[in-house]
Structure 1
Amino acid sequence: MRWIAEQGFHAWLLDWGEPTPGDGDLSINGHIERVLIPAMQQFDEPPVLVGYCLGGTMSIAAAIAGDCAGVAAIAAPWHFRGYGEARDDIGSLWEAARTGCEQLGLVPMEVLQTGFWRLDPARTVAKFESFATMAPEAAAMFIAMEDWANSGAPLTYAAGAELFEQLLLADAPGTRAWRVAGRLIDPADLTCPAVEFVSLGDRIVPAATAIGLPDRRDLGAGHVGMVVGSRAKEQLWEPLRDWLAAIP
């Protein structure tokens, strides 16, 4: 964010806040309709949206349902059938966790992280095995990244239910059955400039789930590495800056 601002752009970061059980009925659609689109309307001119992971999925919907000057999706899942056999495993996880989450009104981060681990269990074990032989500097970075990845706010219950049931299991976006703000969300309906950055080494959002925009940029990095890795500036930051600068 600091770097992109230094390139001459007015960059705003949307903080979704810390949900409470009283927010349990706020779905992903609700976040778009009641938070994101109203925030977009606060600017004198339509903004350009840049969304990462599920934020990219939501940004595509907001760009279609709202007034937007451009949209960039970074590692954003759309065709959720691209998760393959992992969908059934994660579906079982949600089935086991759903009642407890409903009672809480929230979906704790631990439920989400368990879902991420199930995408590639062997890799999860291997990365912790490698920690035992890491040099001190690399180990410190590993701990910092794991602390970041395992912290954060929970989802509201409705957002978690929509994520697991409508997006992941039913593949509503990929089958053109996802409605937001009364509109059927189809990326083909985008009228503003749009680009997607797809990580070919991403296990959290596999390349098979990509949106399929005409302007697609493939990166050789992982889900987190594409944003903060040693080659992130070269692979993502600079191409994103150039794309933003080219918007009329």
Structure 2
Amino acid sequence: MSVYRGTAQTSAPQHGPRPLPLFLDMVRSETAASPERLPAVLEGLRRYQEAPRGRVRRAMPARFRKRRARLRDYGGEGPPVVFVPSLINPPFVLDLTPATSLVRWIAASGFHAWLVDWGVTDPRDRDMDVAAHVERVLEPLLAKLPAPPLLIGYCLGGTMALAAASRMKVAGLATIASPWRFAGYGAAARDIAALWESARPTCDQLGVVPMEVLQTGFWRLDPARTVAKYEAFAKLEGDRAAMFVALEDWANAGEPLTYAAGAELFERFIGEDLPGRGLWRVGGVAVGPERVDCPSIDYVSLSDRIVPAATAAGLGARRDLGAGHVGMIVGGSARRQLWEPLRDWLHGVAGGREPGQSKEEHAP
């Protein structure tokens, strides 16, 4: 299996969950009541660390650049479609393998596809928050295209794409598993706030928020599942095992956030829910779903623990999915649940057919 891991800087520096000591503590805690599970979990971890990684595919060419970010050209004929990934984790989950590349599939479906690559974090950019990434990086990249693009934002990238669509002309906006109403995190927000309080002084000194801090926050949302998937991996073979390795390498990779972006995410978004309350401003301008003047749609997972359905923005249309946060992008039902409906929506918008309100639920 050939896998795109992006640049050398975004490849996982260790073949194991980051931070590994904290993962092992979590394993001990989650298996304490059933110690017979521990050998299988550790065997899964060993197999993951020792698994062959296969050939690494070269990144697609960067046609436009702004600061450290690149707009990578995936080709195709038709209206421009720009995929905006999260600042957290590398962008290559949208182009994971030849068989599981949403970007390439859209490029082969009648569109010219582009992928934002946020690049390598520079601690000297410590004061660039999420809003600054929208104003100073994302919007200038989009403005280089010959026509207003259709935007597809994934996870925090959808939050940022929505902000950009509030401030500039775009042809359409689709968000996938993207948080906007952060109050929807409920009680989990308290655990995330506690994590940030303990990590903030060190992050302040470093000028960045290391990936290990962000990964720890994800684990806290569902520690049982995090441990159980390694237990299950001990028995996986063939393509399913290779896919697990590819996904875990992606989850364990990623540049740190700038300090200001991490602080805004933890304090202003999760802590105070500025976007959901209509108080988030980008470049001095209020942004939000009500200011998006183009066809728009939310793709929302009903089983997502990283971005709960309650955090969805409430755009012009909505489609509910049964697949999880990552499964909706690369899972076995991804093409049926997300890829094909998204392609059809894009064609409808590009063809001038205004999509109506919708809500379609799919069982996992």
TM-score normalised over the length of structure 2: 0.66
Would you say the 8 A contact 2:295–2:316 is kept in 1? no
1:41 deviation in Å?
A: 1.2
Q: In structure 2, what is the equivalent of residue 239 of structure 1?
A: 341
The code of the aligned residue for 1:217 comes to R
Aligned length: 248
Confirm or deny that 1:106 pairs with 2:208: yes
1:133 deviation in Å?
A: 3.0
1:182 deviation in Å?
A: 1.7
Confirm or deny that 1:226 pairs with 2:325: no
Would you say the 8 A contact 1:173–1:186 is kept in 2? yes
Among 255, 264, 273, the residue aligned to 1:162: 264
Confirm or deny that 1:61 pairs with 2:149: no
Q: In structure 2, what is the equivalent of residue 22 of structure 1?
A: 124
Secondary structure of the 1:13 match is: strand
The code of the aligned residue for 1:153 comes to E
Would you say the 8 A contact 1:199–1:206 is kept in 2? yes
Q: Whole-Å Cα distance in 1 between the matches of residues 251 and 117 of structure 2?
A: 17
Superposition misfits of 4+ residues, deviation over 4 angstroms: none
Name the stretch that deviates more: 38-47 or 23-32: 38-47
Confirm or deny that 1:134 pairs with 2:240: no
Counting only pairs closer than 5 Å after superposition, residues 26-105 of structure 1 correspond to structure 2 as 26-105=128-207
Would you say the 8 A contact 2:207–2:258 is kept in 1? yes
Q: Whole-Å Cα distance in 2 between the matches of residues 103 and 21 of structure 1?
A: 10
Q: In structure 1, what is the equivalent of residue 282 of structure 2?
A: 180
The code of the aligned residue for 2:219 comes to W
Q: In structure 1, what is the equivalent of residue 318 of structure 2?
A: 216
1:183 deviation in Å?
A: 1.3
1:181 deviation in Å?
A: 2.0
Q: In structure 2, what is the equivalent of residue 124 of structure 1?
A: 226
Instruction: Call closer, same or farther: CA 1:45–1:138 in 2, change over 3 Å.
Output: closer
CA deviation profile, 1:223-245 (whole Å, cap 9, x unmatched): 00000011111111111111111
Secondary structure of the 1:195 match is: strand
Q: In structure 2, what is the equivalent of residue 206 of structure 1?
A: 308
1:137 deviation in Å?
A: 4.1
The code of the aligned residue for 2:209 comes to V
The structure with the largest alpha-carbon Rg is 2
Secondary structure of the 1:12 match is: strand
Q: Whole-Å Cα distance in 1 between the matches of residues 108 and 242 of structure 2?
A: 28
Would you say the 8 A contact 1:65–1:181 is kept in 2? no
CA RMSD of aligned residues (A): 1.2
TM-score normalised over the length of structure 1: 0.96
Runs of 5+ unmatched residues, structure 1: none
Q: In structure 2, what is the equivalent of residue 4 of structure 1?
A: 106
Q: Whole-Å Cα distance in 2 between the matches of residues 117 and 240 of structure 1?
A: 29
- Bigger proportion of residues as helix: 1
Runs of 5+ unmatched residues, structure 2: 1-102, 353-364
Q: Whole-Å Cα distance in 2 between the matches of residues 141 and 212 of structure 1?
A: 32
Would you say the 8 A contact 1:75–1:223 is kept in 2? yes
Would you say the 8 A contact 2:130–2:261 is kept in 1? yes
Secondary structure of the 2:118 match is: coil
1:186 deviation in Å?
A: 2.3
Comparing both chains, which one has the higher relative contact order based on Cα–Cα distances under 8 Å and sequence gaps of 6 or more? 1
Q: Whole-Å Cα distance in 2 between the matches of residues 114 and 140 of structure 1?
A: 24
Name the stretch that deviates more: 116-125 or 220-229: 116-125
Q: Whole-Å Cα distance in 1 between the matches of residues 148 and 114 of structure 2?
A: 13
Name the stretch that deviates more: 50-59 or 18-27: 18-27
Secondary structure of the 2:297 match is: strand
Among 191, 194, 216, the residue aligned to 2:296: 194
Secondary structure of the 2:132 match is: helix
